[in-house]
Structure formats: C-alpha cells, structure tokens
Structure 1
Amino acid sequence: MSDALLNALAEALAGLVTAVETSDEDILDPDTAVEWLEGTGHVLAGLGAADRQALDGLFRAAAMRRPPGAGREELLLVSAGFGLDEDTHLAAVDAVADHARRYADTVRGADPATPVPACPGWTLGDLTHHLGTVHGWAEHLVTARPATRVRAGDLALDPPGDPSSYRAWFAARAEGFAAAARTADPEAPVWSPGADPHVRHYPRHVLAETVVHLADAEIALTGTARPIDPGTAADALDHFLTTAPYIPWIAEPLAHLDRDGAVLSLVARDSGVTWTLVLGAGGFAWSRGGGGTEPTARVTADAGELLLLLHRRYAADDPRFTLTGDRDLLDDWLAATAL
C-alpha cells in the first residue's frame, strides 16, 4: 500500500471521527455516535504496538496538514481519543501485577482447605496453585518464546508441597511474569492458545485468568465478588470471545447448537458497551456495538457481572441480570461454552 493511500485513509478516518464527535444532536443521535466510535476504537485497540504508533503518526501528520485553528486542534485529539498514544502492553502488565497483589492479599491468612464454590471440587489451595501455575507458564512463554505448544505440566515450576505456602509461591510466580512481560517485545512471535501468536497475547490472557480467579477467591471467602473495573472486565470479555473459537471443548459444542442466525446481545450498564454475538457457520461472530439487528436475547448487567456470567460464576437467573427475549438461547450458549 502506497504512502499516499495510507495518508489519505488516515486523513479520511480522522476527519470522519471528528465530524461524528462534533455533530449537533439534531443531526446525529449521541447514542449512535458513541456506538460508532466505540466500535472503531475497539478495532484500533486490537492493533499491535507498532501499527498503533504508525497510525498515531499518520493522524498527527493529517492534522498538521490543516491550517492552524480549531480544525487542526480537533484532529490532533483523535489519537488520544482512541488511546493510540498509550502503551497497552505495559498497561496490561501493570493490571496483571495489581490484580495478582489483590489476590495475594485476599487469600492472606485464609485456610487453604476452604472450598471454592465457583470451581467445584477445588479448595482455595488448589485455586492458588492453579493461578501460580498460569503465571509461571506465561513467564516461560514470554521469555523462551517457543514456536510450538508448551504445557504447564512440562515445566519445573517448583510448587511447594505444603498448601499453606502456596500464597508466597504464587506471589513469586506473579512477580516473575510481570517482570518478564514488562521487558519483553510485545510484537515478538510466540505460540499462543488463541488468535494472536505474539507476546502481547499473554498479559491479556493472564489478566483475564487473574480477574476471574480473584472473583472465585472472593466468592469463596465472602460469598460475593467485589465489583470489577468496567474497562478491565470489558478487555477480559473481549479476550474470552476472541479465544473461544480456538478452544476445542467450546468450539465443538458451539458448532452443534443449531441456532444459526440467532443473536445474543450483552449490554454493560456501567459503561454502555454492547457485545453482539451472532451464531452460525459452525460457530459465532462477535463485535462491539449493537450491530443494527434486534437481538434474539439480551442480557444487561455491569461489565464485570457479564464476564462472570460467561464464566459461569453467576447463574443467569441471578437478580444482577436483566434478561429479555429467548432465554433458551442464553442457556444454550452457557452450556456450550462451559470451561
């Protein structure tokens, strides 16, 4: 693709975004504007660091080609509005480290034999051992960057024999992963169990695991999970939907649901984000935004509650959720995607 075409596309997109943002309410409904821009932002957020940096430069160059004034200043805000000037890899690593510390604080002093209702048959010690294994496995992957699958069981992660020592071992594994991921090149290739075979996959993967298992520990110890940051929950939900087609025990049941054309809508009332899932073609497609189609079933809750619903930590008939439309579709989806 020529530089001229890239510059033209960037200028056209920046101009369109600015027009949407500055439109009068009588011309463009604000909710529609938010949906359009939120969908565009989600697509751009999926770019790698190098591409985000390149697009940031193209947007800024397009702005500087305008004469000084309000038009130039509005275009200069486009990159920041989409977060293109942020380091999403390091932000994810920081979020992993924060949630790992919160997990360690949550289980401090707790009996490792405490049952974990969200993970039938597991104790709090089992949960901590599992999460420490996830962090240690991911540290190996971002450091060694193997091209083929490595199972956690093949690694010498040296867990202690006494479950009362699992918390300290977990904390060390979490610190090791954060340190390794923070210095790793997010664009470096590495095997991954999903759609993105790069180092940048792993902070998002480990963050999603840690957020959900932190909720598991909270539910085990207090009966309920603390609210999850809407942005963190949304990213973890994105990650789950992106990775699900690559997980055989999810992809196969979904392929046999026989609900082609059915639309499941997940609406986050705390952030306004909507996920639209369209079943068919032996699986499903998903996007951020309403999709312009009336859903077969709609579920409304906070983003963190939706995340825990998809992971079956909360039941669909929990009063946290508002359900409309075909309840059987939601039940079929949850049954097919059980981890």
Structure 2
Amino acid sequence: MSDALLNTLAEALADVVATIDTCDDETLDPDTAVKWLETTGSLLDRLPPSDRRSLGRLLRRAAGRSPAGPWRETLLRLPESFGLDDDQHELYCEAIEHTVRRFTAVVRDVDPATPVTTCPGWTFADLVRHHGATHRWAAHVVGVRACEPVSARDVPLALPADPSGLPAWTAESAGLSLAVLRKVDPEAPIWSCGADQHVAAYARRLLFEAVVHLADAELSLGREPDIAAGTAADGVEEFLENLPHLPRLARLVAALPAGTVRLTAADTGAAWTVAFGPDGFSWTRTAGPAPSAEVTGTAADLLLFVHGRRAPGDRRLTVAGDPAVVESWRAATVF
C-alpha cells in the first residue's frame, strides 16, 4: 500500500471519527455516535502494536495538515482517545500477567504426568517446568543486562521437589521476570535470540511463550484456546521477525526449494507473504503476487499454525495452492 493511500485513509478516518465525536445531539443520536465510536475502537484494538503506533503517527500527520484551531486540536486527541499511544511495554507486561494467571489456573489441578498432545513426549510437568524456567531465564538475562548468549543451564531455577508445586513455582517465576521487566528501561540494549536487541523484546517474547503454552494446556484438555485477534496477529509477526535469528530453523528454511506461502487472517483481513529458498528468507505484510500456497484461518489459528499447534489439514484452516509447499514450510519451521 502506497504512502499516499495510507495518508489519505488516515485522514478520512480522522475526519469521520472527529465529526461523529463533535456532532451535537440534534444532528446525531448520542447512542448511535457511541456505538459507532466503540465499534471503531474495537476494530483498532485488533491491530498489532506496531500497526497501532503507525496509525497514531498517520493521524497526527493528518491533524498537522489542518489549519490551527479547535478542529486540529480535536484531530490531535484521536490517537490518545483510541489508546494508540499507550505504553506498549507495560501492555505486554499486563498481558503476560493475565495470561500466566490463566495458565496456572488451567494446569493447577491436572495430574503432572498427563501427556501434552501438542508437544509429543512432554507431560504437563514438562510443560509447566519449561514455562517457569523460561521466565527465570529471562529475568536473569535482563537483570544482568547480558551482552552475549546465556545458557538456561547457567540460571538457578529453585525447582520444587514435588511436581505438584510447579504451577505455583511458575507463577512465582513470572512474578520475578515481570518485576525485572518493569524496572529496566525497555529501550536498553541487550542480547536476545531474536531480531530486537532491546529489553522490550523479552516482554513480547514472554507473552507469546505464555499464549502458546496456555494453548498447549487447553488443547491437551480438549478445550479451544481463546486468543484475541490483535494479540495473535502480533504473535505471527513476532515469529516471522525472529525466524532468521534462530540458527537451526534458519538453516532448514534456507534448504527449502524456492516458494512462497501467504498467511491470510479471515477475521481481520491481515495478510503475510513469506518467501524462502536458496535466495534467502523474507516476508511482507502485503498480499503481493499469487503465492505458491495460501493458508487461511483466523489470526489465532494462524498463530497456532506457525507454532506447529495447527496442522495444514486442520478443519479450521483452508489451504489453497500447492499443499507440498505448506507441508515443507511447516516441517522446517516447527520447533
């Protein structure tokens, strides 16, 4: 999408929303105005954080093109009124807190020996231990401001002797990581195993660790995960951004024959086109030319797909084009 089109759409959105917001009761029924604004806010909430920040900038630019006066001031307030300028790092921390609370509530009363169907060979004890250990590891890495890789084996875990104590231990572990993340400047440089070499990357990574492992627990118990569309879309992008920085997966992707896979979110309209093969790996947020294959589902189902929790043949996903390309892509990118 061109910059001219993006700016025009942002300006149109700003004018429509500001007009609704400033209409008097005789011109527009107040209940209708509230409904329209709430619907708009709900749609914007489904955008991933990076898109929300971009939209905020576009709306401010649109306001800057209006003459000085009350109308411009109204336009300038729109990003704040829709929460587009909220502290994203703290929002990630709050989301981690909420998701880990859900995770521990789900696993608390499950027999630790119960198999995790989405992670062959794992039990619930393994799943909960892994999730808590990841929080302890992140707390250590951020706490010491690591500038080089840190092995999980070098981090003290203080594991409980009885596996039944793992859920409470994991909740405590998340509390440790969140305390560190909230204390350290999110823009501070730090080593990470992904694309973003700043503290903020750990809040984002821990959120999707929690989201995916909560889904592991729920799916293993025959429940359907409930993942917000905006969160899921952000998780798909986080996966794609980090993929080239994960050596084993990057090597497997580089060994694939040339191909493209489009991921299309049926509920939000978002699309990601992934290209891979001997010439390297890349992805864009646009639909682009016709791909070798396309996978369509909700944003949540696509998040579970890229993390290997939904198979191409799952009834919630629709695969078009060459299914062999999808299968090879999935085989190369599943942890």
TM-score w.r.t. length of structure 1? 0.80
Please give the root-mean-square deviation of Cα atoms over the aligned residues, in Å.
Answer: 3.1
* Contact kept? 2:260, 2:273, Cα under 8 Å: yes
Equivalent position to 2:10, from 9, 18, 25: 18
Query: Would the alpha carbon gap of residues 298 and 14 (structure 1) be closer, same or farther in structure 2, given more than 3 Å must change?
Result: closer
Aligned equivalent of 2:111 = 111
CA distance in 2, matches of 1:201, 1:148: 15
Deviation of 1:60 after TM superposition, in Å, equals 7.0
- Greater CA deviation, 193-202 or 273-282? 273-282
Query: Are positions 1:318 and 2:317 aligned together?
Result: no
Q: Which amino acid aligns with 1:332?
A: S
Query: Would the alpha carbon gap of residues 94 and 43 (structure 1) be closer, same or farther in structure 2, given more than 3 Å must change?
Result: closer
Aligned equivalent of 2:230 = 231
CA distance in 2, matches of 1:46, 1:73: 20
Q: Deviations over 1:146-182 (max 9, x none)?
A: 1111111101121112111111111100111112212
Aligned equivalent of 2:257 = 258
Identity rate, percent: 42
Deviation of 1:307 after TM superposition, in Å, equals 1.0
- Greater CA deviation, 143-152 or 271-280? 271-280
CA distance in 1, matches of 2:111, 2:239: 30
* Contact kept? 2:59, 2:76, Cα under 8 Å: no
CA distance in 2, matches of 1:93, 1:123: 27
- Greater CA deviation, 223-232 or 301-310? 223-232
Q: Which amino acid aligns with 1:68?
A: G
CA distance in 2, matches of 1:84, 1:281: 39
TM-score w.r.t. length of structure 2? 0.81
Aligned equivalent of 2:203 = 203
Query: Would the alpha carbon gap of residues 60 and 19 (structure 1) be closer, same or farther in structure 2, given more than 3 Å must change?
Result: closer
* Contact kept? 1:267, 1:298, Cα under 8 Å: yes
Query: Would the alpha carbon gap of residues 58 and 266 (structure 1) be closer, same or farther in structure 2, given more than 3 Å must change?
Result: closer
Q: Deviations over 1:261-292 (max 9, x none)?
A: x321111112221111122454321122323x
Deviation of 1:84 after TM superposition, in Å, equals 4.7
- Greater CA deviation, 80-89 or 151-160? 80-89
Q: Which amino acid aligns with 1:305?
A: D
Deviation of 1:297 after TM superposition, in Å, equals 1.1
Superposed, 1:24-43 pairs within 5 Å as: none
CA distance in 1, matches of 2:213, 2:168: 17
Aligned equivalent of 2:24 = none
Count of aligned positions: 304
Unaligned ranges ≥5, structure 2: 17-43
Aligned equivalent of 2:264 = 267
Superposed, 1:53-72 pairs within 5 Å as: 59=60, 63=64, 66-68=67-69, 70=71, 72=72
